[in-house]
A and B are shown apart, each in its own frame.
Chain A
């Protein structure tokens, strides 16, 4: 039965296509785009099927590689949370890859085969990180996805290689710190399996090595998740990478790292330990709060759309990590829901930035004016939907995750964090309405007959493959907002023990 093999099949699909694409690229290079889309489609189909299975049967699938049971063997665990995240990241990757055809032709011509092969490796790493049930495997998949993302960021503008190099240095230090933390845990417990270790940790929690391990792991994964003081690599990387790379890495990469943080903090160590024995949730809560405000304020100061979105990512990651740090049911729902919502919103916004770069050759906010509304009506409609969702207007998706996070802060009585959520919504409104005002209200610069210019402009939209992916994600934002009751009822089944 295919159902029980789902956890292994999803990463294997990407691995197979990562090898197939260069081989088939020798034959016909232009086909590699279609192969990449096919690979992502198969993986999305499998994750959709697996999640449907999970929802109807509510059964965790544990896949043992080679039939060796843990703690000797390696296992992949497909439970509600990992299934949900896998479905979200694969679906987003599918849309971004469909969208990438024209960008590939203009931004990195002649490199498409390698590019799509590395993309498949990136997705292999992300899926492996989410599905694995073994801490050392997690490190290996973390490095696979990191190496792929350094390569993808390196393909881009002139400054991209230096941004990628800086990310490489910081990212490898993060990975090494994580590995060091795993080493501490291994010497104390003698196992690497997450489920085994969860059972053993409460007995050894007073050991100072365990505390050090938790700190090292949170610091290491925090680099990948761009938790506030460790975010330095993110703005340049996202800005100078090619439009497809940033649309792929921004919605997915940091989300997967946030998922690992969620898994380690709330499942591996457990709510009791991180709340009372080691009060690390307070620390990451404060850092997340500072990150939310810092990201929003820096985003207001940017005049380049992609850089603004990059800073806004730091702020939005803060919401997810704040949800983890609250360590109560509402915070958990808010964090998981925001993974989905922010993946959709950021993908939509970065795709719009890609559309504008393809057509106009830049995405400089100061040059936006009313002609954009005439030239790109649907792209701008998608942008408006995503922007309003980021600000948090009901019934769009962004409102509901913020609502649950706010409920979580009220339940914990952390009024400062509640103030941060409300304040940052206002700051979001400032930097998004600045663009909307220009696109919908400001006249073009030239003094000649302005009305004439505007009426003479015709719709000059991008190719259908780019337009409908952007639009479908925008509709998805609305749909997720309207259907959030169903999604939350699915998330409720995923609570870690003790919440």
Chain B
């Protein structure tokens, strides 16, 4: 049991991050805090990919005299990390759009508190 918990600590970490992100989005009233939660949620997914692809005692997949090429386990799979670069860019774009919307909302209603906002919209 203790091995199960300790052996999968990267996954537990991912799950905790996802939970914190969801908590921020669902419970927090401030819209900026909701975006922070969103960002944590996305980061959780990104860290999941990175942790899946990481490997002990392995190195970058560059062909070199210093590393024996025949042994595949000497190298890390670069693809998940590369994919996550794209996912990070997507996350940044999402944040940009979200902040642009928040600026519009603030200019129109002069509040970023969801409860006050809902009252003003009514």
Contact = CB atoms under 8 A, between A and B. Distances in A.
Contact of B52 (A159, A162, A183): A183
Contacts of B45: 176, 179-180, 183
Given A143-B90, A162-B121, A176-B45, A154 B52 contact: no
Contacts of B94: 143, 147, 168, 172
Interface residues of B, number: 29
30 contacts: A136-B83, A136-B86, A139-B87, A139-B90, A143-B90, A143-B94, A147-B93, A147-B94, A147-B97, A150-B97, A154-B100, A154-B104, A161-B101, A161-B104, A162-B117, A162-B121, A164-B101, A165-B98, A165-B101, A165-B105, A168-B97, A168-B98, A169-B25, A172-B42, A173-B22, A175-B90, A179-B45, A183-B48, A183-B52, A183-B80
Contacts, number: 65
B108 A161 contact: yes
Nearest to A165: B101
A176 B46 CA distance: 9
Nearest to B104: A161
Contacts of A172: 38, 41-42, 94
B14 to A, nearest CB: 9
A176 B42 contact: yes
Nearest to A150: B97
Contacts of B31: 165
A173 B101 contact: no
A219 B81 CA distance: 25
A378 B85 CA distance: 52
Interface in B86-122: 86-87, 90, 93-94, 97-98, 100-102, 104-105, 108, 117, 121
- 6 nearest interchain CB pairs? A161-B104, A143-B90, A165-B101, A176-B45, A161-B105, A187-B52
Contacts of A490: none
Given A143-B94, A158-B108, A162-B121, A168 B101 contact: yes
A64 interface: no
Given A168-B98, A172-B94, A159 B121 contact: yes
A183 B80 CA distance: 9
B97 A169 contact: no
Nearest to B35: A169
Interface residues of A, number: 25
Contacts of A159: 121
- Kindly name the residue among B42, B83, B108 whose own CB sees the greatest number of chain A CB atoms within 10 A: B83
A172 B97 CA distance: 11
Given A143-B94, A147-B97, A164-B101, A173 B87 contact: no
B20 to A, nearest CB: 13
- Kindly name the residue among A147, A151, A162, A180 whose own CB sees the greatest number of chain B CB atoms within 10 A: A162
A173 B22 CA distance: 9
Given A140-B90, A172-B42, A176-B42, A162 B105 contact: yes
Interface string B51-70: 01000000000000000000
